[in-house]
Structure 1
Amino acid sequence: MTATPPAGRKSGLVLFFAVTFTTTWAFWLVAIALGGSPMSYPTVIPYLLGGFGPVIGAIVIRARRARRRLPAPAHTVRLRLSMRLFYVPPLLLLAPATVLAGALLAHLLGDPAVSLTAGRNLIATMGGPVAFVVSMLVAGPLAEEPGWRGTAYPRLRASLSRVQASLVLGVAWAIWHLPLFFISGTVQNTFGLISWSGLLFTLSVIPMALLTGYAYERAGVVASIAVHFGVNATMALLSVNSPLTQALILAVQLIAVIALLAWQREEPVVHTAPPSHQVAHAPRRV
Protein backbone atom coordinates (compact mmCIF):
# COMPACT_ATOMS: atom_id res chain seq x y z
CA MET A 1 0.00 0.00 0.00
CA THR A 2 1.35 3.43 -0.87
CA ALA A 3 1.87 6.13 1.70
CA THR A 4 -0.67 8.88 1.92
CA PRO A 5 0.85 12.30 1.15
CA PRO A 6 0.70 14.86 3.99
CA ALA A 7 -1.66 17.20 2.09
CA GLY A 8 -4.19 14.42 1.64
CA ARG A 9 -3.96 13.31 5.28
CA LYS A 10 -4.48 16.86 6.53
CA SER A 11 -7.41 17.55 4.25
CA GLY A 12 -9.12 14.35 5.34
CA LEU A 13 -8.61 15.14 9.02
CA VAL A 14 -9.74 18.73 8.66
CA LEU A 15 -12.90 17.61 6.88
CA PHE A 16 -13.60 14.92 9.50
CA PHE A 17 -13.20 17.30 12.44
CA ALA A 18 -15.20 20.03 10.68
CA VAL A 19 -18.14 17.74 9.96
CA THR A 20 -18.00 16.07 13.39
CA PHE A 21 -17.86 19.26 15.45
CA THR A 22 -20.31 21.20 13.28
CA THR A 23 -22.88 18.41 13.32
CA THR A 24 -22.61 17.62 17.02
CA TRP A 25 -22.44 21.16 18.31
CA ALA A 26 -25.29 22.32 16.06
CA PHE A 27 -27.60 19.65 17.47
CA TRP A 28 -26.46 20.17 21.06
CA LEU A 29 -26.88 23.93 20.81
CA VAL A 30 -30.48 23.27 19.76
CA ALA A 31 -30.86 21.01 22.82
CA ILE A 32 -29.47 23.78 25.03
CA ALA A 33 -31.89 26.29 23.51
CA LEU A 34 -34.87 23.96 24.01
CA GLY A 35 -34.03 23.36 27.65
CA GLY A 36 -35.51 20.57 29.69
CA SER A 37 -34.24 17.08 30.33
CA PRO A 38 -32.18 15.45 27.56
CA MET A 39 -34.51 12.45 27.85
CA SER A 40 -37.73 14.44 27.43
CA TYR A 41 -39.37 15.50 24.17
CA PRO A 42 -38.38 17.50 22.15
CA THR A 43 -34.89 17.99 23.65
CA VAL A 44 -34.12 14.27 23.38
CA ILE A 45 -34.06 14.43 19.57
CA PRO A 46 -31.19 16.92 19.05
CA TYR A 47 -29.45 15.55 22.15
CA LEU A 48 -29.28 12.01 20.74
CA LEU A 49 -28.56 13.09 17.17
CA GLY A 50 -25.64 15.22 18.33
CA GLY A 51 -23.88 12.16 19.69
CA PHE A 52 -23.65 10.74 16.17
CA GLY A 53 -21.43 13.55 14.90
CA PRO A 54 -18.30 11.35 14.73
CA VAL A 55 -20.14 8.67 12.74
CA ILE A 56 -21.48 11.28 10.35
CA GLY A 57 -17.94 12.61 9.94
CA ALA A 58 -16.73 9.07 9.26
CA ILE A 59 -19.44 8.51 6.62
CA VAL A 60 -18.47 11.72 4.83
CA ILE A 61 -14.78 10.73 4.78
CA ARG A 62 -15.51 7.17 3.66
CA ALA A 63 -17.83 8.40 0.89
CA ARG A 64 -15.14 10.85 -0.25
CA ARG A 65 -12.53 8.11 -0.31
CA ALA A 66 -14.82 5.72 -2.20
CA ARG A 67 -15.73 8.40 -4.74
CA ARG A 68 -12.06 9.05 -5.41
CA ARG A 69 -11.24 5.32 -5.35
CA LEU A 70 -8.47 5.78 -2.84
CA PRO A 71 -6.95 3.06 -0.62
CA ALA A 72 -7.59 2.90 3.10
CA PRO A 73 -4.95 4.58 5.31
CA ALA A 74 -1.96 2.35 6.04
CA HIS A 75 -2.78 2.15 9.77
CA THR A 76 -6.39 1.05 9.33
CA VAL A 77 -7.05 -2.18 11.27
CA ARG A 78 -9.36 -4.33 9.18
CA LEU A 79 -12.03 -6.55 10.69
CA ARG A 80 -11.17 -9.39 8.35
CA LEU A 81 -8.13 -10.09 10.52
CA SER A 82 -10.30 -12.38 12.65
CA MET A 83 -7.47 -13.63 14.88
CA ARG A 84 -7.20 -10.14 16.29
CA LEU A 85 -10.71 -10.46 17.74
CA PHE A 86 -9.30 -12.67 20.50
CA TYR A 87 -8.11 -9.41 22.06
CA VAL A 88 -11.68 -8.16 22.49
CA PRO A 89 -12.85 -10.23 25.53
CA PRO A 90 -9.78 -9.39 27.69
CA LEU A 91 -10.09 -5.71 26.78
CA LEU A 92 -13.82 -5.79 27.57
CA LEU A 93 -12.94 -7.14 31.03
CA LEU A 94 -10.07 -4.72 31.54
CA ALA A 95 -12.23 -1.64 30.92
CA PRO A 96 -14.66 -2.09 33.85
CA ALA A 97 -11.81 -3.48 35.99
CA THR A 98 -10.05 -0.10 35.85
CA VAL A 99 -13.22 1.62 37.08
CA LEU A 100 -13.79 -0.90 39.87
CA ALA A 101 -10.14 -0.70 40.97
CA GLY A 102 -10.27 3.10 41.15
CA ALA A 103 -13.54 3.00 43.11
CA LEU A 104 -12.10 0.45 45.57
CA LEU A 105 -8.97 2.53 46.12
CA ALA A 106 -11.12 5.60 46.74
CA HIS A 107 -13.12 3.70 49.37
CA LEU A 108 -9.91 2.59 51.09
CA LEU A 109 -8.88 6.25 51.21
CA GLY A 110 -12.13 7.36 52.82
CA ASP A 111 -14.73 7.76 50.09
CA PRO A 112 -18.09 6.01 50.61
CA ALA A 113 -18.27 2.57 49.04
CA VAL A 114 -19.89 2.62 45.63
CA SER A 115 -23.37 1.15 45.51
CA LEU A 116 -25.34 -0.58 42.79
CA THR A 117 -28.61 0.86 44.08
CA ALA A 118 -28.50 3.85 41.74
CA GLY A 119 -27.45 1.51 38.93
CA ARG A 120 -30.46 -0.74 39.52
CA ASN A 121 -32.72 2.29 39.49
CA LEU A 122 -31.15 3.47 36.25
CA ILE A 123 -31.69 0.08 34.62
CA ALA A 124 -35.32 0.06 35.76
CA THR A 125 -35.84 3.60 34.47
CA MET A 126 -34.40 2.67 31.08
CA GLY A 127 -36.69 -0.36 30.72
CA GLY A 128 -34.57 -3.26 31.89
CA PRO A 129 -31.11 -4.78 31.35
CA VAL A 130 -31.48 -5.25 27.59
CA ALA A 131 -32.56 -1.65 27.04
CA PHE A 132 -29.70 -0.48 29.29
CA VAL A 133 -27.07 -2.45 27.37
CA VAL A 134 -28.41 -1.32 24.00
CA SER A 135 -28.56 2.34 25.01
CA MET A 136 -25.06 2.25 26.54
CA LEU A 137 -23.74 0.55 23.42
CA VAL A 138 -25.33 2.94 20.94
CA ALA A 139 -24.98 6.25 22.82
CA GLY A 140 -21.22 6.59 22.87
CA PRO A 141 -19.40 3.49 21.58
CA LEU A 142 -21.30 2.89 18.33
CA ALA A 143 -22.04 6.56 17.77
CA GLU A 144 -18.43 7.67 18.23
CA GLU A 145 -15.82 4.94 17.75
CA PRO A 146 -16.19 4.48 13.96
CA GLY A 147 -15.32 8.17 13.74
CA TRP A 148 -12.69 8.82 16.42
CA ARG A 149 -10.79 5.55 16.18
CA GLY A 150 -11.99 4.07 12.88
CA THR A 151 -11.45 7.22 10.80
CA ALA A 152 -9.39 9.93 12.54
CA TYR A 153 -6.91 7.70 14.40
CA PRO A 154 -5.41 5.90 11.36
CA ARG A 155 -4.91 9.22 9.61
CA LEU A 156 -3.20 10.73 12.64
CA ARG A 157 -0.99 7.64 12.87
CA ALA A 158 0.35 8.36 9.40
CA SER A 159 2.61 11.02 10.93
CA LEU A 160 2.39 10.49 14.71
CA SER A 161 3.22 7.72 17.16
CA ARG A 162 0.34 5.84 18.76
CA VAL A 163 0.70 7.85 21.99
CA GLN A 164 0.84 11.17 20.14
CA ALA A 165 -2.13 10.26 17.96
CA SER A 166 -4.17 9.24 21.02
CA LEU A 167 -3.26 12.41 22.90
CA VAL A 168 -4.23 14.66 19.98
CA LEU A 169 -7.49 12.77 19.56
CA GLY A 170 -8.08 12.85 23.32
CA VAL A 171 -7.83 16.65 23.41
CA ALA A 172 -10.24 16.95 20.48
CA TRP A 173 -12.58 14.42 22.12
CA ALA A 174 -12.56 16.37 25.40
CA ILE A 175 -13.37 19.65 23.63
CA TRP A 176 -16.14 17.91 21.65
CA HIS A 177 -17.91 17.05 24.93
CA LEU A 178 -18.03 20.63 26.24
CA PRO A 179 -21.62 21.53 25.18
CA LEU A 180 -22.91 18.67 27.36
CA PHE A 181 -22.05 20.75 30.41
CA PHE A 182 -24.79 23.19 29.36
CA ILE A 183 -27.56 20.68 28.64
CA SER A 184 -29.70 20.44 31.78
CA GLY A 185 -29.92 16.92 33.14
CA THR A 186 -26.71 15.44 31.70
CA VAL A 187 -24.04 13.99 33.97
CA GLN A 188 -21.68 16.73 32.82
CA ASN A 189 -24.22 19.42 33.71
CA THR A 190 -24.61 17.88 37.16
CA PHE A 191 -20.84 18.06 37.65
CA GLY A 192 -20.58 21.65 36.41
CA LEU A 193 -17.86 22.83 34.07
CA ILE A 194 -16.03 24.85 36.74
CA SER A 195 -15.66 22.16 39.40
CA TRP A 196 -13.28 19.39 40.34
CA SER A 197 -15.69 16.76 38.99
CA GLY A 198 -16.08 18.67 35.73
CA LEU A 199 -12.32 19.08 35.37
CA LEU A 200 -11.69 15.41 36.15
CA PHE A 201 -14.34 14.31 33.66
CA THR A 202 -12.60 16.37 30.97
CA LEU A 203 -9.18 15.01 31.91
CA SER A 204 -10.51 11.44 32.04
CA VAL A 205 -11.01 11.54 28.27
CA ILE A 206 -7.22 11.40 27.81
CA PRO A 207 -6.63 7.94 29.35
CA MET A 208 -9.81 6.79 27.62
CA ALA A 209 -8.34 7.92 24.30
CA LEU A 210 -5.14 6.02 25.07
CA LEU A 211 -7.04 2.87 26.05
CA THR A 212 -9.37 2.93 23.06
CA GLY A 213 -6.44 3.77 20.76
CA TYR A 214 -4.52 0.77 22.09
CA ALA A 215 -7.64 -1.39 21.66
CA TYR A 216 -8.06 -0.20 18.08
CA GLU A 217 -4.51 -1.17 17.20
CA ARG A 218 -5.04 -4.62 18.69
CA ALA A 219 -8.43 -5.52 17.13
CA GLY A 220 -9.92 -2.54 15.30
CA VAL A 221 -13.15 -0.68 15.97
CA VAL A 222 -14.78 -3.70 17.63
CA ALA A 223 -12.17 -3.57 20.41
CA SER A 224 -12.38 0.21 20.87
CA ILE A 225 -16.18 -0.08 21.08
CA ALA A 226 -15.79 -2.80 23.74
CA VAL A 227 -13.48 -0.64 25.88
CA HIS A 228 -15.67 2.46 25.48
CA PHE A 229 -18.78 0.46 26.40
CA GLY A 230 -17.14 -1.26 29.36
CA VAL A 231 -16.02 2.00 30.96
CA ASN A 232 -19.24 3.92 30.27
CA ALA A 233 -21.55 1.15 31.49
CA THR A 234 -19.56 0.58 34.69
CA MET A 235 -19.37 4.31 35.47
CA ALA A 236 -23.14 4.56 34.98
CA LEU A 237 -23.92 1.51 37.12
CA LEU A 238 -21.72 2.74 39.96
CA SER A 239 -22.94 6.36 39.60
CA VAL A 240 -19.40 7.67 39.99
CA ASN A 241 -19.49 11.35 40.97
CA SER A 242 -16.91 11.76 43.73
CA PRO A 243 -13.82 13.73 42.66
CA LEU A 244 -11.54 11.34 44.59
CA THR A 245 -13.06 8.30 42.88
CA GLN A 246 -12.85 10.02 39.48
CA ALA A 247 -9.20 10.91 40.08
CA LEU A 248 -8.24 7.39 41.11
CA ILE A 249 -10.06 5.82 38.16
CA LEU A 250 -8.15 8.21 35.90
CA ALA A 251 -4.88 7.21 37.60
CA VAL A 252 -5.61 3.48 37.34
CA GLN A 253 -6.45 3.81 33.66
CA LEU A 254 -3.21 5.69 33.01
CA ILE A 255 -1.19 3.01 34.79
CA ALA A 256 -3.02 0.28 32.88
CA VAL A 257 -2.43 1.85 29.48
CA ILE A 258 1.23 2.60 30.25
CA ALA A 259 1.70 -1.06 31.14
CA LEU A 260 -0.08 -2.19 27.98
CA LEU A 261 1.98 0.11 25.76
CA ALA A 262 5.21 -1.03 27.39
CA TRP A 263 4.23 -4.70 27.00
CA GLN A 264 3.14 -4.35 23.36
CA ARG A 265 5.87 -2.25 21.84
CA GLU A 266 5.16 -0.11 18.81
CA GLU A 267 6.23 -1.60 15.52
CA PRO A 268 8.42 0.59 13.30
CA VAL A 269 6.57 2.14 10.38
CA VAL A 270 8.02 1.78 6.90
CA HIS A 271 6.88 4.55 4.57
CA THR A 272 6.96 3.76 0.88
CA ALA A 273 6.92 6.25 -1.93
CA PRO A 274 3.91 6.20 -4.26
CA PRO A 275 4.46 4.71 -7.73
CA SER A 276 5.46 7.26 -10.34
CA HIS A 277 2.16 6.99 -12.20
CA GLN A 278 0.28 8.00 -9.02
CA VAL A 279 2.36 11.04 -8.11
CA ALA A 280 0.21 13.46 -10.12
CA HIS A 281 -2.88 12.38 -8.16
CA ALA A 282 -1.22 12.26 -4.75
CA PRO A 283 -2.81 15.44 -3.32
CA ARG A 284 -6.24 13.82 -3.63
CA ARG A 285 -5.46 11.07 -1.10
CA VAL A 286 -7.03 11.15 2.35
Structure 2
Amino acid sequence: MTLPFNYSPLRFFSLVFAATWLPWSIAAYLSYLPQLQVWVMSLALLGLLGPVCAASAMVWASGDKRLWQDCRKRVFSLGGISPGRVLLMLGLILIPLVMATWLSVRFGQSASQFSFSGGFLAMLPLALIAALLEELGWRSYGVDSLRSIWKMLLPASLAFSVLWALWHLPLFFIHNTYQNQLWQAGGIYVTNFFISIFPATVMANWFYYRCQRSIPAAILFHFSLVMASELLQIEPLTKCIWTGLLFLVAAMLIAIEQDIFFKE
Protein backbone atom coordinates (compact mmCIF):
# COMPACT_ATOMS: atom_id res chain seq x y z
CA MET A 1 0.00 0.00 0.00
CA THR A 2 1.40 3.35 -1.05
CA LEU A 3 0.16 6.47 0.71
CA PRO A 4 0.57 9.92 -0.91
CA PHE A 5 2.34 11.43 2.11
CA ASN A 6 5.95 12.09 3.06
CA TYR A 7 6.72 10.28 6.29
CA SER A 8 9.79 10.58 8.53
CA PRO A 9 9.86 7.37 10.61
CA LEU A 10 13.34 8.01 12.04
CA ARG A 11 12.32 11.41 13.36
CA PHE A 12 8.98 10.10 14.63
CA PHE A 13 10.40 7.18 16.61
CA SER A 14 13.24 9.34 17.94
CA LEU A 15 10.64 11.75 19.31
CA VAL A 16 8.59 8.89 20.74
CA PHE A 17 11.53 7.36 22.60
CA ALA A 18 12.71 10.70 23.92
CA ALA A 19 9.23 11.75 25.08
CA THR A 20 8.61 8.38 26.76
CA TRP A 21 11.96 7.21 28.08
CA LEU A 22 12.79 10.47 29.87
CA PRO A 23 9.74 10.53 32.21
CA TRP A 24 9.81 6.74 32.61
CA SER A 25 13.50 6.79 33.56
CA ILE A 26 12.79 9.43 36.20
CA ALA A 27 9.81 7.37 37.39
CA ALA A 28 12.07 4.31 37.69
CA TYR A 29 14.41 6.22 40.00
CA LEU A 30 11.61 7.76 42.09
CA SER A 31 9.73 4.46 42.41
CA TYR A 32 12.31 3.29 44.98
CA LEU A 33 11.93 6.44 47.11
CA PRO A 34 8.82 6.01 49.31
CA GLN A 35 8.42 9.73 49.98
CA LEU A 36 8.15 10.49 46.23
CA GLN A 37 5.68 7.80 45.14
CA VAL A 38 3.04 10.40 44.29
CA TRP A 39 5.12 11.46 41.28
CA VAL A 40 5.63 7.97 39.84
CA MET A 41 2.12 7.50 38.42
CA SER A 42 2.11 11.01 36.95
CA LEU A 43 5.42 10.39 35.20
CA ALA A 44 4.26 6.97 34.01
CA LEU A 45 1.15 8.51 32.45
CA LEU A 46 3.25 11.32 30.97
CA GLY A 47 5.40 8.74 29.22
CA LEU A 48 2.31 7.17 27.67
CA LEU A 49 1.73 10.47 25.86
CA GLY A 50 4.92 9.96 23.86
CA PRO A 51 3.42 8.27 20.77
CA VAL A 52 0.43 10.60 20.37
CA CYS A 53 2.49 13.73 21.04
CA ALA A 54 5.13 12.64 18.52
CA ALA A 55 2.47 11.84 15.91
CA SER A 56 0.77 15.19 16.44
CA ALA A 57 4.10 16.99 16.11
CA MET A 58 4.98 15.13 12.91
CA VAL A 59 1.61 15.76 11.28
CA TRP A 60 1.74 19.44 12.20
CA ALA A 61 5.35 19.84 11.05
CA SER A 62 4.61 18.17 7.71
CA GLY A 63 2.38 21.06 6.66
CA ASP A 64 0.37 18.56 4.61
CA LYS A 65 -3.36 19.16 5.01
CA ARG A 66 -4.11 15.83 3.34
CA LEU A 67 -2.16 13.97 6.04
CA TRP A 68 -4.03 15.86 8.75
CA GLN A 69 -7.38 15.10 7.10
CA ASP A 70 -6.47 11.43 6.69
CA CYS A 71 -5.55 11.12 10.38
CA ARG A 72 -8.64 13.02 11.54
CA LYS A 73 -10.88 10.86 9.39
CA ARG A 74 -9.42 7.62 10.72
CA VAL A 75 -9.60 8.74 14.35
CA PHE A 76 -13.39 8.71 14.06
CA SER A 77 -13.78 5.93 11.49
CA LEU A 78 -16.06 3.08 12.56
CA GLY A 79 -17.17 1.91 9.12
CA GLY A 80 -14.89 -1.12 8.95
CA ILE A 81 -15.70 -2.38 12.45
CA SER A 82 -18.41 -5.00 11.98
CA PRO A 83 -19.82 -7.33 14.68
CA GLY A 84 -18.45 -10.32 12.79
CA ARG A 85 -14.92 -8.90 12.71
CA VAL A 86 -15.03 -7.99 16.39
CA LEU A 87 -16.20 -11.49 17.35
CA LEU A 88 -13.49 -13.05 15.19
CA MET A 89 -10.85 -10.81 16.75
CA LEU A 90 -12.01 -11.69 20.28
CA GLY A 91 -12.06 -15.37 19.40
CA LEU A 92 -8.49 -15.26 18.10
CA ILE A 93 -7.43 -13.80 21.45
CA LEU A 94 -9.61 -15.69 23.93
CA ILE A 95 -9.63 -19.20 22.46
CA PRO A 96 -5.81 -19.47 22.61
CA LEU A 97 -5.95 -18.06 26.16
CA VAL A 98 -8.37 -20.76 27.30
CA MET A 99 -6.38 -23.45 25.47
CA ALA A 100 -3.13 -22.22 27.08
CA THR A 101 -4.73 -22.33 30.52
CA TRP A 102 -6.05 -25.85 29.90
CA LEU A 103 -2.63 -27.04 28.72
CA SER A 104 -1.00 -25.42 31.73
CA VAL A 105 -3.32 -27.30 34.07
CA ARG A 106 -2.57 -30.54 32.19
CA PHE A 107 1.14 -29.87 32.79
CA GLY A 108 0.50 -29.72 36.53
CA GLN A 109 -0.24 -26.05 37.17
CA SER A 110 -3.12 -24.99 39.42
CA ALA A 111 -6.68 -25.35 38.13
CA SER A 112 -7.51 -22.13 40.01
CA GLN A 113 -6.17 -20.32 36.93
CA PHE A 114 -9.65 -20.71 35.47
CA SER A 115 -10.94 -18.33 38.17
CA PHE A 116 -11.61 -14.74 37.18
CA SER A 117 -8.96 -12.26 38.27
CA GLY A 118 -9.84 -9.97 41.14
CA GLY A 119 -7.94 -7.09 39.52
CA PHE A 120 -9.83 -7.23 36.23
CA LEU A 121 -12.17 -4.29 36.90
CA ALA A 122 -9.41 -2.20 38.44
CA MET A 123 -7.37 -2.57 35.23
CA LEU A 124 -10.15 -1.37 32.93
CA PRO A 125 -9.47 2.40 33.07
CA LEU A 126 -5.68 2.04 32.89
CA ALA A 127 -5.90 -0.42 29.97
CA LEU A 128 -8.26 1.90 28.10
CA ILE A 129 -6.02 4.94 28.66
CA ALA A 130 -2.93 3.02 27.54
CA ALA A 131 -4.64 1.65 24.42
CA LEU A 132 -6.06 5.05 23.53
CA LEU A 133 -2.85 7.03 23.93
CA GLU A 134 -0.62 4.46 22.28
CA GLU A 135 -2.75 3.69 19.26
CA LEU A 136 -3.48 7.34 18.51
CA GLY A 137 0.24 7.60 17.87
CA TRP A 138 1.16 4.18 16.50
CA ARG A 139 -1.67 3.93 13.96
CA SER A 140 -2.09 7.58 13.02
CA TYR A 141 1.56 7.86 11.97
CA GLY A 142 3.95 5.16 13.25
CA VAL A 143 2.95 2.02 11.35
CA ASP A 144 2.20 3.88 8.11
CA SER A 145 5.57 5.64 8.34
CA LEU A 146 7.33 2.26 8.45
CA ARG A 147 5.33 1.10 5.44
CA SER A 148 6.68 4.10 3.55
CA ILE A 149 10.06 2.29 3.76
CA TRP A 150 9.19 -1.41 3.51
CA LYS A 151 5.94 -1.10 1.51
CA MET A 152 4.72 -4.57 2.53
CA LEU A 153 3.00 -4.88 5.90
CA LEU A 154 4.86 -7.99 7.14
CA PRO A 155 8.39 -6.46 7.26
CA ALA A 156 6.88 -3.23 8.57
CA SER A 157 5.17 -5.25 11.32
CA LEU A 158 8.44 -6.95 12.22
CA ALA A 159 10.21 -3.58 12.45
CA PHE A 160 7.40 -2.10 14.51
CA SER A 161 7.33 -5.06 16.90
CA VAL A 162 11.04 -4.54 17.66
CA LEU A 163 10.54 -0.80 18.23
CA TRP A 164 7.38 -1.36 20.29
CA ALA A 165 9.15 -3.93 22.47
CA LEU A 166 12.11 -1.59 23.10
CA TRP A 167 9.72 1.25 23.88
CA HIS A 168 8.55 -0.70 26.96
CA LEU A 169 12.08 -1.19 28.29
CA PRO A 170 12.09 1.45 31.11
CA LEU A 171 8.94 -0.11 32.59
CA PHE A 172 11.02 -3.08 33.73
CA PHE A 173 12.83 -0.76 36.15
CA ILE A 174 9.79 1.01 37.63
CA HIS A 175 9.01 -0.69 40.92
CA ASN A 176 5.77 -2.73 41.00
CA THR A 177 4.89 -2.38 37.32
CA TYR A 178 3.78 -5.51 35.48
CA GLN A 179 7.06 -5.56 33.57
CA ASN A 180 9.05 -5.15 36.80
CA GLN A 181 7.24 -8.14 38.27
CA LEU A 182 8.23 -10.17 35.21
CA TRP A 183 11.83 -9.10 35.74
CA GLN A 184 11.69 -10.40 39.31
CA ALA A 185 10.01 -13.64 38.20
CA GLY A 186 12.87 -14.59 35.89
CA GLY A 187 14.51 -14.04 32.53
CA ILE A 188 12.29 -16.52 30.70
CA TYR A 189 9.23 -14.40 31.44
CA VAL A 190 10.96 -11.20 30.34
CA THR A 191 11.95 -12.97 27.11
CA ASN A 192 8.38 -14.13 26.64
CA PHE A 193 7.12 -10.55 26.99
CA PHE A 194 9.39 -9.32 24.22
CA ILE A 195 8.63 -12.31 21.98
CA SER A 196 4.88 -11.89 22.48
CA ILE A 197 5.05 -8.41 20.94
CA PHE A 198 5.44 -9.86 17.43
CA PRO A 199 2.21 -11.94 17.22
CA ALA A 200 0.38 -9.09 18.97
CA THR A 201 1.65 -6.69 16.28
CA VAL A 202 0.65 -9.01 13.43
CA MET A 203 -2.84 -9.48 14.86
CA ALA A 204 -3.25 -5.76 15.61
CA ASN A 205 -2.19 -4.77 12.10
CA TRP A 206 -4.43 -7.41 10.54
CA PHE A 207 -7.46 -6.08 12.42
CA TYR A 208 -6.46 -2.46 11.78
CA TYR A 209 -6.18 -2.90 8.01
CA ARG A 210 -9.19 -5.21 7.75
CA CYS A 211 -11.17 -2.41 9.41
CA GLN A 212 -10.03 0.09 6.77
CA ARG A 213 -7.21 1.60 8.89
CA SER A 214 -9.67 2.53 11.61
CA ILE A 215 -7.83 3.85 14.67
CA PRO A 216 -10.75 2.93 16.99
CA ALA A 217 -10.33 -0.65 15.71
CA ALA A 218 -6.67 -0.61 16.75
CA ILE A 219 -7.64 0.79 20.15
CA LEU A 220 -10.28 -1.92 20.54
CA PHE A 221 -7.77 -4.68 19.73
CA HIS A 222 -5.12 -3.29 22.07
CA PHE A 223 -7.64 -2.90 24.90
CA SER A 224 -9.06 -6.41 24.32
CA LEU A 225 -5.61 -8.03 24.36
CA VAL A 226 -4.57 -6.32 27.60
CA MET A 227 -7.86 -7.12 29.33
CA ALA A 228 -7.71 -10.75 28.15
CA SER A 229 -4.35 -11.07 29.90
CA GLU A 230 -6.03 -9.83 33.10
CA LEU A 231 -9.21 -11.89 32.74
CA LEU A 232 -8.06 -15.10 34.46
CA GLN A 233 -5.65 -15.81 37.30
CA ILE A 234 -3.14 -17.28 34.89
CA GLU A 235 0.45 -17.95 35.90
CA PRO A 236 3.58 -16.77 34.04
CA LEU A 237 4.10 -20.22 32.50
CA THR A 238 0.60 -20.08 31.04
CA LYS A 239 1.41 -16.75 29.39
CA CYS A 240 4.38 -18.41 27.70
CA ILE A 241 2.08 -21.11 26.30
CA TRP A 242 -0.40 -18.40 25.25
CA THR A 243 2.39 -16.64 23.36
CA GLY A 244 3.15 -19.84 21.47
CA LEU A 245 -0.49 -20.25 20.48
CA LEU A 246 -0.72 -16.61 19.42
CA PHE A 247 2.26 -17.23 17.16
CA LEU A 248 0.24 -19.95 15.46
CA VAL A 249 -2.67 -17.52 15.07
CA ALA A 250 -0.34 -14.89 13.61
CA ALA A 251 1.15 -17.42 11.19
CA MET A 252 -2.35 -18.44 10.11
CA LEU A 253 -3.34 -14.83 9.48
CA ILE A 254 -0.19 -14.20 7.44
CA ALA A 255 -0.86 -17.31 5.33
CA ILE A 256 -4.54 -16.56 4.78
CA GLU A 257 -4.43 -12.77 4.48
CA GLN A 258 -1.58 -12.47 1.99
CA ASP A 259 -3.29 -9.54 0.28
CA ILE A 260 -2.81 -7.58 3.51
CA PHE A 261 0.68 -8.67 4.53
CA PHE A 262 2.46 -9.00 1.19
CA LYS A 263 0.76 -6.48 -1.09
CA GLU A 264 2.72 -3.29 -1.69
Same topology, TM > 0.5 = yes
Instruction: Quote the offset at 1:100 in angstroms.
Output: 2.6
Tell which deviates more after alignment, 15-24 or 147-156. 147-156
Instruction: Quote the offset at 1:176 in angstroms.
Output: 0.6
Equivalent residue, structure 1, for 2:207: 215
Equivalent residue, structure 1, for 2:125: 134
Change (3 A) 1:162 1:80: same
TM-score normalised by the chain length of structure 1: 0.77
Alignment of structure 1 residues 159-174 onto 2, 5 Å: 159-174=150-165
Change (3 A) 1:229 1:2: closer
Partner of 2:65: helix, strand, or coil?
A: coil
Instruction: Quote the offset at 1:108 in angstroms.
Output: 2.2
Instruction: Quote the offset at 1:135 in angstroms.
Output: 2.2
Change (3 A) 1:60 1:93: farther
Alignment of structure 1 residues 80-119 onto 2, 5 Å: 82-86=78-82, 87-113=85-111, 114-116=113-115, 119=117
Alignment of structure 1 residues 21-36 onto 2, 5 Å: 21-36=17-32
Change (3 A) 1:169 1:212: same
Is the Cα contact below 8 Å between 1:95 and 1:227 reproduced in 2? no
Change (3 A) 1:187 1:241: farther
Is the Cα contact below 8 Å between 2:31 and 2:37 reproduced in 1? no
Q: What is the root-mean-square deviation of aligned Cα atoms in Å?
A: 3.1
Q: C-alpha distance in 2, partners of 1:155/1:100? A: 35
Structure 1 residue ranges (4+ consecutive) displaced by more than 6 angstroms after TM superposition: 72-77
Which deviations, in whole Å up to 9, do the C-alpha atoms of 1:176-224 show, x marking residues without a partner?
Answer: 1111110010111111176111111111111111111111111122222
Q: C-alpha distance in 1, partners of 2:146/2:73? A: 14
Instruction: Quote the offset at 1:269 in angstroms.
Output: 5.1
Partner of 1:185: helix, strand, or coil?
A: coil
Instruction: Quote the offset at 1:174 in angstroms.
Output: 0.6
Instruction: Quote the offset at 1:25 in angstroms.
Output: 0.3
Change (3 A) 1:145 1:205: same
Is the Cα contact below 8 Å between 2:76 and 2:216 reproduced in 1? no
Aligned residue among 171, 189, 202 for 2:194? 202
Equivalent residue, structure 1, for 2:15: 19
Instruction: Quote the offset at 1:239 in angstroms.
Output: 4.4
Identity %: 27
Which deviations, in whole Å up to 9, do the C-alpha atoms of 1:215-255 show, x marking residues without a partner?
Answer: 1111122222222111211212324442x312211111111
Is the Cα contact below 8 Å between 1:32 and 1:184 reproduced in 2? yes
> Which blocks of at least 5 consecutive residues in structure 1 are unaligned?
124-128, 271-286
- Tell me which amino acid in the other structure corresponds to 2:56: I
Is the Cα contact below 8 Å between 1:37 and 1:43 reproduced in 2? no
Equivalent residue, structure 1, for 2:218: 224
> Which blocks of at least 5 consecutive residues in structure 2 are unaligned?
none
TM-score normalised by the chain length of structure 2: 0.83
Q: Paired residues, what number?
A: 255
Instruction: Quote the offset at 1:15 in angstroms.
Output: 1.9
Is the Cα contact below 8 Å between 2:71 and 2:140 reproduced in 1? no
Which deviations, in whole Å up to 9, do the C-alpha atoms of 1:33-67 show, x marking residues without a partner?
Answer: 212499941211101211221111121122223x3
Which deviations, in whole Å up to 9, do the C-alpha atoms of 1:97-148 show, x marking residues without a partner?
Answer: 332332222222332231436x21x24xxxxx4x642222112x11211222
Q: C-alpha distance in 1, partners of 2:170/2:158? A: 21
Change (3 A) 1:3 1:181: closer
- Tell me which amino acid in the other structure corresponds to 1:228: H
Instruction: Quote the offset at 1:164 in angstroms.
Output: 0.8
Instruction: Quote the offset at 1:263 in angstroms.
Output: 2.3
Equivalent residue, structure 2, for 1:152: 142
- Tell me which amino acid in the other structure corresponds to 1:252: L
Partner of 2:38: helix, strand, or coil?
A: coil
Partner of 2:44: helix, strand, or coil?
A: helix
Name which one, 1 or 2, has greater alpha-carbon Rg. 1
Equivalent residue, structure 2, for 1:278: none
Q: C-alpha distance in 1, partners of 2:2/2:182? A: 47
Q: C-alpha distance in 1, partners of 2:38/2:91? A: 35
